Structure 1
Amino acid sequence: MTETGEIGPRGFEAGAAEPEQEPVWRRLSPRMLLVHPVQEVVRAAPALLGLLVAGSSSGGRGHLWSLAAVGLMVVYGILRWFTTTYRITSEHVQVRKGVLQRKVLTVPRDRVRTVDVTSHVLHRLLGLARVEVGTGTSDKAGGGGLRLDALGGAEAARLRVELLHRSSRTADAQAADATRGDVAPGDNAPGDIVLATLRPAWIGFGPFTLSGLITVGVIAGFVSRLASEGNVDLGRFRLLREGWRWFGTLSLPLQVATVVLILVVFVAVASTLGYVFAFWNFRLSRHGGTLHVTRGLITTRATTIEERRLRGVEISEPLLLRAVRGARLIAVTTGLRVGQGAQRGGSMLLPPAPRGEAETVAGLVLTAEGSPPRPGPPPTTAPLMPHGPAALRRRFTRALGVNALLAAALFALGRWADLPSWPWVSALALLPVTALLAADRYRSLGHTLVSGHLVTRWGSLVRRRVMLECDGIIGWNVRRSFFQRRAGLVTLTATTAAGRQGYHVSDVDLAEALRLAAEGSPGLLDPFIIPEGFSWEMA
């Protein structure tokens, strides 16, 4: 910014600063004119196929109606490009879009937490990338962010660097490289510190993720919708008819075993393929105060997270993955989804891998670049404090009590309503399983405060160990249910703006909960704690 002035009768008079030019509204890449129509047609494919089949089977002109619908989808896709513009000011990122309903989305630049760069198959063929800007306003999908679909690869890389490295000289150089095309979107710039890369042996954990169940559901839903929209009788297909006839000749146990075997094989294969497609070329690196994750075989994705927004990490161990000593690593940060949405939301820092590898990478992530090591054991492997016999009794009481009540209710219904006996017998047979589940849930419980982190662990079907920075805790919540009061226990919740927004230390006694809160946030509870020996009469 420069100053202007003029020389008058009394000498030089400084004028006002030159006003900054208003940034112009820019369009997406013109190559999106080839992508948007295809996206709209693919999105409407089940309805278009159903219209074609229904029109043809009833003697009508189904193909003409389908062609007309395809034409409308193509026109709509072209209009999306003409009606979408964006601009980046010194304070905001703005997007105008909408064909039938106009919208203006505005995101303050100081609220930008993450930038996600994704390239699908068509995007990669045309050198494009989709940019998603996360603000941390909500952990749910579509909460508070915006999407630019799509920009040229170099422009997407430059935009990612610009939004997350506004004051870094190195980042400016990287942005210049990206603009010139020297660095493709998702590539690691020179000087990156690589924390983890995919190893071929990790693919063996794919069948234990059960992500193939989603594939089964998607395929079943697509076939069902196609048959419903097109009024298609699946029994007309000879292969399906013969297979169903052969299945009907089997006894009930063989039918159950056949279904389970086919489902297991299909889910295992689909899960393995899904693992390869999602995490091929996976790389986690650190550069200029950010963590950069790139992955994907057909669809590539690059997620950049500001480390100053990172509040901790979570080691997640689903039951099957834990059985083969595997785990996932998830970032506890604002703007990214966790739990079941971690992979789609971009918060996954390490795909299913050996547990030891997850602990090693977690330690590297928690240790900021250039910072000295803190005293004490690392939070990733520090021993945890058990929760005592009262918590153990509570686990068994809840598990066995509910099972026993269910078995009793089913037995009563069987006696009074003349129902078969197998429901209550099955409920009783599950008692050992629920007992094992209760014991495993208790073994998972634990907590500690070490190296400036609150470490808490819980869960059985999915065991989670969260290492949360005490500096990122903004409050503590102590909750006691009726049964917890009788057992002398409480649930302590550490509130934070990141991840799940609250992490629990379940079923600890009140004194231990207050100790954790007092040591985790020194001075925060002092106005609410009554010292020993205090008397209200003395006050």
Structure 2
Amino acid sequence: MATGETGRTAPADRPVAGGAVSAGPDGGPGAAAGPPGEWRRLDPRSLLVTGAVMGGVAGGICLPVLLGLSSGAWFGNGPRRGIGLTLLVTASVLLVVGSVAADWAGLRRTRYRIGPERVDLHSGLLLLKRRSLARERIRSVDLTAHPLLRLLGLVKVRIGTGESGGGESSLELNPVSRAEGDRLRAELLGRPAGPAAAPPGGTLARFDLRWIRYAPTSFLTFAIGSAAAGAALQISDWFGVQEDLIGRTGDLVRDRPLALVVPVLVLGALLTGAVGALGLWLEMWWGYRLEREPGGVLRVRRGLFTTRSVSVAEPRLRGVELVEPIGVRAIGGARVDAVATGLAEADGDRHADARGLLPVVPRAVADGVAALVLREPRPPTGAPLTRHPRRARNRRLSWALAAALLPAAALAAAGPWLTPVLLPVAAGYALVALPVGTALALDAYRSLGHGIAGPYLLARSGTPSRRTVALQRTGIIGWTITETFAQRRAGLITLTATTAAGAGAYSVHDAGTSEGLAFADAAVPGLLTPFLVEIPEAAGGAAPENRPPVIAR
């Protein structure tokens, strides 16, 4: 028997508050939903989902075999083809029936119970698992439904504690009816179910089709375009026409200049990726709504084919993070993520989209939604920030210079020994890397900033994806101060605010030493004070009120 996160469950025959255990056909708990504390079963309509999925799998496996049978390449013609077709159909039927039978056996052995203090889940066919979560530790009840589940009115419910304990920190009920999923969410999060859950005026943001213009500017565009080219080659190989496809492509570009061929190929990949990015954006954000429900819960609902419903309780919200990828930033867009406790994902699934409160939208809209989420009259993410010393810019320029010149020098040095072709390659690399690296270094410096806006600490950094976090100062539980040898010589430090929410740590990179220490001490008064000392007057020569703080070593 495998024990869950708490390792303690009530015996199956022990009476529980709100109702006694009812006996099912197999002698176990009954399937019908009843009073609180009664054992319940998953929805048996999942058998239809399993049958449909495995039928699709069987069809995908059988298609190449059918093509081979039709051509006579594998079994020849005549009776042998009929025998092959019979074996193929039999194997497909056995796959579907066997999968449905295994799912039915699993359903018979799976039951769950919502007690006054705990949520219990018993499952397993050969390896019995009894899992239990304390209700006061539950931080999230999220609902998802792919198209087959939606067609049958079912949802998958994930109940989590928000801890990073793998699968032991969450329970998954897959599937239950849509009504049961809504009831579980309302009951476990302590809020009323039904139409009263979304009062008039509770909507903070809703879907706007104009936001789709930001989709092609993401990093996914080039990735999808490259993947499409690879998929085309793979599919052509399946049908034995890969060499012909490569030959025809070579004939098209052989007599054309390279300066024309490369841009055309890149443009084609980008256009393909842009179409894919548009489709992916629609699937993820169609029907998006951000609502504030009674009891202080932010609920995000979205999805075209697979619907998702993610809830964030405001008492565990510690701030927001404004994210601006470089392509999106170039046209004035940003997205908003939640910084909250209890959003750690289980089962190795990072679920980065669980933190997403808002897709990429115009920056002004993102700031406005951030203010609404935090119940602030003005958006903290739009407050002015303190710029960092020029020494921080010099560090980034030196990194860019090293990244451009060191590889070029290595290639140029290897050229006389290996092949002269490396000499023009080194020159071309340096000509491209030097201006690009310099531009990125300057952008990285401009992205640096920190400040205090009322109850929030602000920290901004990043070039590929610039992030501005507005973190509640009361949520900071510690500071980590680091300085490398190069930073110490330049008079710079990196301050990292430790918190129980979001990523767990947020850094202020390359701040001036005295200014950074004063900022950390002002952000959370008293937390850093025991580790600070003043420079003696004889040594510093400044008045006591003007002496910069230094860290005690």
TM-score by length of 1: 0.82
Q: Which residue is equivalent to 1:200?
A: 209
Instruction: Give, in whole Å, the separation in 1 of the partners of 2:206 and 2:480.
Output: 39
Question: Is the CA contact 2:225–2:271 (under 8 Å) kept in the aligned structure 1?
Answer: no
Q: Which residue is equivalent to 1:97?
A: 123
**Pair 1:357 & 2:365 matched:** yes
Q: Measured at CA, do residues 498 and 43 of structure 1 come closer, stay the same or move farther in structure 2, by a change above 3 Å? A: farther
**Pair 1:390 & 2:391 matched:** yes
Q: Which residue is equivalent to 1:426?
A: 428
Instruction: Give, in whole Å, the separation in 2 of the partners of 1:413 and 1:31.
Output: 66
Mean Cα displacement is larger for which, 311-320 or 410-419? 410-419
Q: Which residue is equivalent to 2:175?
A: 150
Deviation at 1:38, TM superposition (A): 2.8
RMSD: 3.2
Instruction: Give, in whole Å, the separation in 2 of the partners of 1:426 and 1:432.
Output: 12
2:302 to 286, 295, 308: 295
Deviation sequence 1:400-451 (CA, Å, 0-9, x none): 1222111111111112222512331122112011001100000000000121
- Structure 1 vs Structure 2: percent identity of aligned residues? 38
**Pair 1:267 & 2:273 matched:** yes
Q: Measured at CA, do residues 43 and 474 of structure 1 come closer, stay the same or move farther in structure 2, by a change above 3 Å? A: farther
TM-score by length of 2: 0.80
Q: Which residue is equivalent to 1:497?
A: 500
Instruction: Give, in whole Å, the separation in 2 of the partners of 1:239 and 1:484.
Output: 55
Instruction: Give, in whole Å, the separation in 2 of the partners of 1:46 and 1:220.
Output: 22
Question: Is the CA contact 2:479–2:528 (under 8 Å) kept in the aligned structure 1?
Answer: no
Q: Measured at CA, do residues 57 and 264 of structure 1 come closer, stay the same or move farther in structure 2, by a change above 3 Å? A: same
Deviation at 1:100, TM superposition (A): 4.7
Question: Is the CA contact 2:476–2:497 (under 8 Å) kept in the aligned structure 1?
Answer: yes
Q: Which residue is equivalent to 2:543?
A: none
**Pair 1:449 & 2:452 matched:** yes
Instruction: Give, in whole Å, the separation in 1 of the partners of 2:41 and 2:230.
Output: 36
2:514 to 487, 496, 511: 511
Aligned-partner residue type, residue 315 of structure 1:
L
Deviation at 1:81, TM superposition (A): 2.7
Deviation at 1:161, TM superposition (A): 0.9
Instruction: Give, in whole Å, the separation in 1 of the partners of 2:399 and 2:393.
Output: 10
Q: Which residue is equivalent to 1:3?
A: none
Q: Which residue is equivalent to 1:121?
A: 147
Instruction: Give, in whole Å, the separation in 2 of the partners of 1:82 and 1:102.
Output: 12
Mean Cα displacement is larger for which, 219-228 or 127-136? 219-228
Aligned-partner residue type, residue 374 of structure 2:
L
Equivalenced residues, count: 490
Question: Is the CA contact 1:292–1:304 (under 8 Å) kept in the aligned structure 2?
Answer: yes
Instruction: Give, in whole Å, the separation in 1 of the partners of 2:128 and 2:419.
Output: 62
Q: Which residue is equivalent to 1:402?
A: 403
Mean Cα displacement is larger for which, 247-256 or 380-389? 247-256
Q: Measured at CA, do residues 343 and 135 of structure 1 come closer, stay the same or move farther in structure 2, by a change above 3 Å? A: closer
Instruction: Give, in whole Å, the separation in 1 of the partners of 2:222 and 2:344.
Output: 21
- What's the secondary structure of 2:380's corresponding residue? coil
Deviation at 1:505, TM superposition (A): 0.1
Question: Is the CA contact 1:337–1:346 (under 8 Å) kept in the aligned structure 2?
Answer: no
Instruction: Give, in whole Å, the separation in 1 of the partners of 2:254 and 2:401.
Output: 38
Instruction: Give, in whole Å, the separation in 1 of the partners of 2:316 and 2:363.
Output: 25
Mean Cα displacement is larger for which, 24-33 or 247-256? 247-256
Deviation at 1:54, TM superposition (A): 7.6
Deviation sequence 1:236-292 (CA, Å, 0-9, x none): 8x7787556535564433432232121111111111122122111111111121101
Instruction: Give, in whole Å, the separation in 2 of the partners of 1:224 and 1:51.
Output: 20
Aligned-partner residue type, residue 216 of structure 2:
P
Q: Which residue is equivalent to 1:320?
A: 327
Deviation at 1:30, TM superposition (A): 1.8
**Pair 1:25 & 2:26 matched:** no
Q: Which residue is equivalent to 1:253?
A: 259
2:220 to 197, 211, 216: 211
Mean Cα displacement is larger for which, 93-102 or 346-355? 93-102
Q: Which residue is equivalent to 2:198?
A: 189
Deviation at 1:507, TM superposition (A): 0.4
Deviation at 1:329, TM superposition (A): 0.7
- What's the secondary structure of 2:163's corresponding residue? coil
Instruction: Give, in whole Å, the separation in 1 of the partners of 2:168 and 2:385.
Output: 35
Mean Cα displacement is larger for which, 477-486 or 52-61? 52-61
Deviation at 1:49, TM superposition (A): 5.3
